[in-house]
A = this chain, B = another copy of it.
Amino acid sequence: EEVQGSKLGNKRVRIVRENNPAFQHITRGVLEATPATEQPDGGALAHVGYGIKWALIGHPIPSTQDAQERLTKFKALAVLSSDAISSVAYATEAILVNLIAAGSQHLSVAFPISLVIIALMAIVGISYRQTIPAYPNGGGSYIVASSNLGMWPGLVAAAALLIDYVLNVAVSVAAGVHNLVALFSGLSHYVVLIDILLVIFITVVNLRGIRESGTFFAIPTHFFIVTAFIMIIVGVIKAFVVGHQPLIGHFAYAQELEPLSFFLILRAFATGCSAMTGVEAISNGVPAFKKPEARNAKITLTWMMGILMALFFGITVLTMTFHVAPNSSGSPTLIALVAQQVFTGPLVFMYPVFLIATLGILTLSAETSYSDFPRLASLLARDRFLPSQFALRGERLAFSVGIVCLALLAILLLVVFGGDTNKLINLFAIGVFISFTLSQCGMVMHWWRLRGQNRHWSYSMAINGVGALTTALVALIVSTTKFVEGAWIVLLMIPLLVFLFHGIHSHYRHFEAAKTTDIPANPQKIRHRLIVPISHLDRAAIQSIAYARSISPEVTAVHVSLNDEESQQIQDSWNTWQHEHLSEEEATHLLIIESPYRALLNPLLAYIDTLQKRHPGDTITVILPEFVVAHWWEYFLHNQVALRLKARLFFRPGIVVANVPQHLMDRPLKKKALYG
């Protein structure tokens, strides 16, 4: 039954009956849409479209299920640490490749460098452990920098991170496909195509929602972690328990090309710091964890940093002990050579298994970007620095717009760079260190502000201060050493993005201010004046005129005529209609505008202008009769005058445009709807 209140205050309409499948009645004036509203209402094609969409993405998830969609610690470790942990596969090699320029006798310097990086990891890890409880709603660099240092540093951190996330997807997919093509050389012509298909695949899995993608991507990450630990344990037993080898072995001779300068050591250190990309993913992704979010995130971060340091240390030790030098061609990789040394005899079957695990985690380290890019974009959208669409959760509670945007940008990069890892890698890692630096500077400010309330503030500030200085130095070194090779692109993009954010922000602020100020609380009566452009005196025209006259008697029908015969014809049929069927008070003006230049729109617009100038106080409504045809392609067969008129009128202030659609052909004609 229907309740239709008539008193102010409790006057809200309840339009649905109890048995309406589309809505549930909540309270007076409040309905809730049911899943029935999500059913397609079109023809068979629409049903097929929805079917495909549901097969790919899944059925919609209601907002109330948000908590169930969160990540367990086990899945979060897989999703949010794949980027960081995958970097142990190449970090040691990156250090050695730099040092070998000074000849093989100095390769042992890699060991102290690695220890410094591990110390740095510990500092950054401890720092982020401090950030998580301080910012339980997500403490990425953007949040920490903007709330402690101000808007501009926050935006710089955000821009740097967004760029790095896109690069991470492109680089990891390209690296994965590169390894795949090495196995199946027949695919080498289709590298970019396979890249794109892989990006689309990862995108679709992510659009299914964070829980499902977590389940899917947990396997490769944990598989790599397990196999890598097996390698390290077996290797350590072989080297020190069975073999009694020295910690640092004798490397094969390599010619010295330059002296071991301090700069070379710094560069080796800076390159090795690529092991630290992805470290901030967990502190940024706190809201994705199951409750209690902050505690779970902190534990997961500790796990991740522990695993990262242990793997990095273990692989460096094995490299040193087995004196494995990097191959100048880059293939096989250092980690493959180490695995070859370790997995001998009865364990030889583990060698290909480990290689496949490495391939898997390298490819799927893109997942960290898929988790964090949309979340960071949603924070920026929430703060009005990106279009508001980025803040809306899609049907599966994922930030669909951000996911699709990331995928499109990554595909663009892959196409522009032809899927070439070597070119892409030069743009990589700068953004991460800039955002590290800003985030840690922000934490320094944070502790300084809390100096009255927290007794450990000086200790914490010191940790973050050391971290800030070190990461700033790394950012500087990475930017300088890779500047010509491509770092300049990133350093140019960051300010451009920041200005874009700021421009969007200004627009929204301006817009909000303009639409909420100067609201007339009590609007006066509207004086209507209606124009009905007609091409023929057909059913649509007559219905539109009837509609217009039901609003006000001030109706003018306007016909733009291309020649005299046309003018005469419409005038005659108009007169016949008016005289024979209508009473005197139902009579309507017809204005014929002859257009000697055969333009249809411009004379009509000039007439509307004239009318507006003559009657500045009136509200002009243009009623457009439109025939709705059965198929989209049939629109090409009719002059798009109505559509073009609407587009032109949209930019003129104070004119209301109403469409009176007249359906033809295979749909039932709802005459009653207009002539009840």
Contact = CB atoms under 8 A, between A and B. Distances in A.
A667 B655 CA distance: 14
Contact of A637 (B33, B388, B597, B606): B388
A595 interface: yes
B16 A395 contact: no
A519 interface: yes
Interface stretch (A87-95, A234-242, A268-276, A585-593): A585-593
A249 interface: no
Nearest to A523: B546
A60 B603 CA distance: 14
Interface in A655-676: 655-665, 667-676
B653 A656 contact: no
B664 A37 contact: no
Chain A binding surface SS class: mixed
A573 to B, nearest CB: 10
Contacts of A673: 612, 616-620, 653-655
A636 interface: yes
B516 A542 contact: no
A15 B653 contact: no
B527 A542 contact: no
Contact of A15 (B547, B563, B611, B668): B611
A58 interface: no
Contacts of A669: 518, 653
A587 B6 CA distance: 9
Interface string A590-602: 1111111111001
A587 to B, nearest CB: 5
Interface stretch (A140-148, A420-428, A506-514): A506-514
B661 A658 contact: no
Contact of A665 (B510, B522, B598): B510
Interface stretch (A96-104, A430-438, A574-582): A574-582
Contacts of A637: 387-388, 504, 507-508, 511
Contacts of A674: 523, 526, 619, 654
A582 B522 contact: yes
A538 interface: yes
B663 A656 contact: no
A556 interface: yes
A303 interface: no
A581 B8 CA distance: 12
Interface stretch (A121-129, A353-361, A626-634): A626-634
A658 B667 CA distance: 22
Contacts of A539: 515-516, 518-520
A593 B619 CA distance: 31
How many copies are assembled? 2
A580 B521 CA distance: 9
A38 B388 contact: no
A663 to B, nearest CB: 4
A607 interface: yes
A578 B63 contact: no
A23 B618 contact: no
Contact of A639 (B389, B653, B670): B389
A364 to B, nearest CB: 28
A460 interface: no
B670 A29 contact: no
Q: How large is the interface on A (under 10, 10 to 19, 20 to 34, 35 or more residues)?
A: 35 or more
A18 interface: no
A99 to B, nearest CB: 47
A619 B671 CA distance: 10
Q: Which of the listed residues A528, A619, A670 has the most CB atoms from chain B within 10 Å of its own CB?
A: A619
A20 B614 CA distance: 11
A540 interface: yes
Nearest to A582: B522
Contacts of A598: 63, 392-395
Contact of A526 (B9, B591, B659, B675): B675
B23 A607 contact: yes
Interface string A1-29: 00000011101110110001011001001
A535 to B, nearest CB: 10
Contact of A628 (B387, B395, B609, B650): B650
A543 B520 CA distance: 8
Contacts of A519: 538-539, 542
Given A9-B575, A15-B611, A63-B598, A29 B591 contact: yes
A547 B664 contact: no
Interface string A518-552: 11111111111000000010111011001100110
17 contacts: A20-B610, A30-B591, A37-B605, A387-B638, A389-B639, A395-B599, A515-B539, A516-B536, A516-B539, A518-B671, A522-B582, A523-B543, A547-B656, A612-B673, A650-B659, A650-B661, A657-B659
What 6 A-B pairs have minimum CB-CB distances, sorted nearest first? Answer: A654-B673, A617-B676, A33-B603, A658-B658, A523-B546, A654-B670
Given A30-B567, A33-B602, A616-B673, 13 more contacts: A8-B587, A22-B609, A33-B603, A60-B599, A388-B638, A515-B664, A516-B539, A519-B538, A619-B673, A619-B674, A654-B674, A657-B658, A657-B659
